[in-house]
Amino acid sequence: MTNGESPSNNEVERSRTRAGAVVVVASNLAIATATALAIFKLGKDQVTAILTAAFTAIGTITTAYLGIRAASSTAKSAVAGVGEQVAKAIQQQQSTAQQPSVTNIDPDTGRPAGGEQVKITGSGFSSAAVVKFGSETAPSRFDNDTQVTAITPPGSGQVHVTVETPGGTSATSTATTFTYR
């Protein structure tokens, strides 16, 4: 950490580990000191009971600290593992998804106010399909991998209708032209 920058996660983790270890050692030292004083004051008759209580306290504190550290490390590993699995699944879905293609729009004309239902046919559609009329996203419903039904957004002139999926964005052509009349 330099020049007022925030500490890294590793630096914070090392600081927490050192602080935790200091607390455990200080606690264990305090228990050992109290034990020595108790033996001195109470005499040798109570040594077994005092030492048993002291070692139990030291063991409990140390075990609790180490248990918390282990649980924290296990949780971090589990979260990191899930994150990696999700990233791999997304990457795999994107690499195996087919690029969509639009072959027909019916009807291919509509009112400038929008709000009309349009059936878009083609291939490579998925439930993650996003339909756009020009740059405007249209509310849509995935019917199957060859048809999506959309509601036209408000617009004017001629625009291309595209379908975006994890496989990419459909190309434009004369078959993808929608005209606001």
Total count of domains within the chain: 2
Domain membership flag for residue 167: yes
Q: How far is residue 37's CA from residue 31's CA, in Å, rounded to a whole number?
A: 10
pTM: 0.50
Please list the rounded mean pLDDT of every run of 10 residues in the chain (181 residues).
65 72 74 73 68 70 65 58 64 72 96 96 92 95 94 96 92 96 92
**Range of 168's domain?**
101-180
Domain membership flag for residue 24: yes
Q: Are residues 83 and 140 in the same domain?
A: no
pLDDT for res 115 = 94
Last residue of a domain, one of 62, 95, 128: 95
pLDDT for res 169 = 93
